[in-house]
């Protein structure tokens, strides 16, 4: 006891001497440094936190993980290379240097070979894997477009190991999203939360199938919002990614980014990495963009998006100095397209867009995200700084063709859905082939013909469901109100006989 008492006395004396010395030094300094000690902050034993609504939410991730894991699926995409030696009909693009890209898609790429070696004749298959998210109990699944792009076969495996073939409902390369459906009911699903309410610093979970490790959950925070990393190749690309430091790797692509309430706030799409493996930065398509794309694909078969008709870039300090601007944040109008909705509403080159209605915009990616959620015909209010003067303009958005209405299924839509460019053959060619006429496939792109048939460029379509077609208009008219199976009949210039190809619309 005496020894214990001595220890306590020494501790007290030591503290007194330390405090006395600190006070003495403080009195000798003219501007002493104030050290503030924060007490009462839970660290080691923290189990709950308070969100921006004042709700107490758990930092124990077990409950939310249990809720969301059954709704995240494994996707296997199979692509076929035929013996003609052409490129594989899918990712990657043959002319793009993926090895040196800092930002990378992260489905399981490169594809592995299955079947005969490349030296053997006959079809060969390549297989890539990724993830998807069930968003409704009747089997609708959201994933990335690059996970299933041009795939000949798509197989979905649920967490309980049930396996299904998936149908592509629609794709949107401009946001790298795709909507699939499997034939099943009463499936677990993840509800969509508003990505507008997600805040930097908020906890999120990434759920997917990295390296074929099914149902993997990682945790991190939202590192940033509205990121544009220039990874999408579509000319009308919308990139306003949520950035997170939750660990994601090859195979996570198309998986879920969820908040602690189990709501879907994003679809994991890309990583920033010099090696192709996780390096601390991942990017997800915000759920509000996902919701718009999904609704459009279900209702119209394609995304209906409003456009301002402007060429824009971010305002920064250098641009502000160069153009003598009065603001250093916002979106600078570089040029105005012909038939521009914003141009006709009064927007000029040199204007700086600072807000859309009540929503501030500091970057072009944020502006594109907000406008991209609207439809042709919608009215938006642009807040603009023009030479230091604040102005407002009401703009009625248009589609890419300059129309202020939802696009009905027409010639362009049908050909876009099929992924084909056509030309009408002349009378001389028709007589040589002993046919009345037809339309020739001059180019195949991503669409139903490439995805579901073996049609090749050069094929001349002479009949649709037994009905003769000799013009592009006649071909489109035969398909514009068609639902279900379609049979195309025709010939090749250099091959004998008649060929038939079936597909579904």
Catalytically annotated residues:
146, 176, 253
- Cis peptide upstream of residue 110 (ω within 30 degrees of 0): yes
CB 469 within 8 A of CB 461: yes
For the chain, the C-alpha Rg in angstroms (whole number) is: 29
User: Cα(261)–Cα(494) distance, rounded to whole angstroms?
Assistant: 61
DSSP per-residue codes, 221-282: EEEEEEE-------TT----EEEE-S---TT-TT-EEE-TTS-EEEEEEEEE-SSSS--SEE
Interaxial angle between packed helices 472-479 and 411-418, expressed in degrees from 0 to 180 and rounded to the nearest 10? 80
Burial class (CB within 10 angstroms; exposed 0-12, middle 13-18, buried 19+) of 241: buried
User: Cα(309)–Cα(340) distance, rounded to whole angstroms?
Assistant: 4
Residues 6+ apart with CB under 8 A from 117: 124
Considering only the C-alpha atoms of the chain, give the largest distance between any 2 of them, rounded to a whole number of Å.
118
Q: Which of 230, 231, 207 is nearest to 218 (CA)?
A: 207
Query: Collapsing DSSP states into helix, strand and coil, what is residue 218?
Result: strand
Residues 6+ apart with CB under 8 A from 199: 52, 222
Instruction: Check the CA dihedral 265-266-272-275 and report its sign.
Output: positive
Which residue matches tokens 């990724």?
Answer: 130
Contacts 24+ apart (CB under 8 A), 431-439: 433/460, 433/491, 433/493, 435/460, 435/462, 435/491, 436/462, 436/468, 436/470, 437/462, 437/468, 437/470, 437/471, 438/462, 438/469, 438/470, 438/490, 438/491, 439/469, 439/470, 439/471, 439/472, 439/475
CB 269 within 8 A of CB 287: no
* CA 263-267-268 angle, 5° bins: 120
């Amino acid at each position: 006891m005496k020894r214990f008492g001595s220890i306590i006395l020494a501790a007290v004396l030591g503290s007194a001497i330390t405090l006395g010395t600190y006070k003495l030094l403080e009195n000798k300094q003219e501007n002493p440094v104030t050290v503030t000690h924060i007490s009462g902050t839970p660290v080691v034993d923290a189990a709950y936190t308070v969100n921006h609504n004042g709700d107490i939410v758990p930092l124990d991730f077990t409950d939310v993980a249990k809720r969301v894991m059954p709704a995240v699926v494994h996707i296997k995409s199979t692509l076929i290379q035929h013996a003609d030696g052409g490129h594989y009909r899918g990712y990657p693009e043959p002319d793009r240097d993926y090895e040196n890209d800092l930002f990378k898609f992260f489905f399981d790429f490169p594809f592995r070979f299955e079947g005969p070696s490349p030296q053997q004749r006959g079809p060969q298959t390549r297989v890539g894997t990724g993830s998807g998210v069930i968003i409704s109990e009747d089997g609708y699944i959201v994933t990335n477009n690059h996970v299933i792009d041009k795939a000949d076969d798509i197989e979905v495996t649920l967490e309980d190991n049930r396996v299904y073939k998936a149908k592509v409902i629609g794709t949107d390369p401009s946001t790298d999203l795709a909507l699939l459906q499997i034939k099943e009911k009463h499936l677990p699903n993840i509800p969509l939360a508003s990505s507008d309410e997600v805040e930097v610093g908020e906890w999120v979970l990434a759920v997917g199938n990295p390296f074929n490790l099914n149902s993997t959950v990682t945790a991190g925070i939202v590192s940033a919002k509205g990121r544009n990393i220039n990874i999408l190749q579509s000319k009308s690309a919308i990139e306003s990614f949520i950035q997170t430091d939750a660990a994601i790797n090859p195979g996570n692509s198309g998986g879920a980014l969820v908040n602690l309430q189990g709501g879907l706030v994003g679809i994991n799409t890309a990583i920033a990495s010099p090696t192709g493996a996780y390096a601390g930065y991942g990017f997800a398509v915000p759920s509000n963009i996902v919701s718009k794309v999904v609704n459009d694909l279900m209702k119209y078969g394609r995304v209906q998006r409003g456009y301002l008709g402007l060429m824009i870039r971010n305002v920064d300090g250098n641009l502000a100095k160069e153009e003598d601007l009065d603001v250093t944040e916002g979106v600078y109008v570089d040029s105005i397209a012909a038939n521009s909705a914003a141009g006709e509403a009064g927007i000029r080159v040199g204007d700086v867009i600072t807000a859309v209605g009540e929503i501030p915009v500091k970057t072009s990616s944020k502006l594109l995200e907000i406008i991209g959620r609207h439809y042709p015909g919608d009215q938006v209010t642009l807040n603009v700084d023009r030479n230091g003067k604040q102005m407002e303009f009401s703009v009625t958005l248009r589609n890419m063709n300059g129309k202020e209405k939802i696009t009905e299924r027409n010639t362009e839509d049908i050909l876009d859905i099929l992924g084909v460019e056509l030309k009408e053959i002349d009378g001389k060619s028709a007589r040589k082939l002993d046919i009345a006429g037809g339309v020739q496939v001059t180019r195949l792109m991503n669409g139903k013909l490439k995805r579901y048939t073996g049609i090749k460029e050069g094929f001349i379509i002479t009949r649709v469901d037994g009905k003769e077609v000799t013009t592009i208009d006649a071909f489109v008219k035969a398909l514009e109100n068609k639902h279900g199976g379609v049979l195309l009949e025709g010939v090749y210039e250099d091959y004998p006989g008649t060929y038939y190809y079936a597909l579904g619309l």
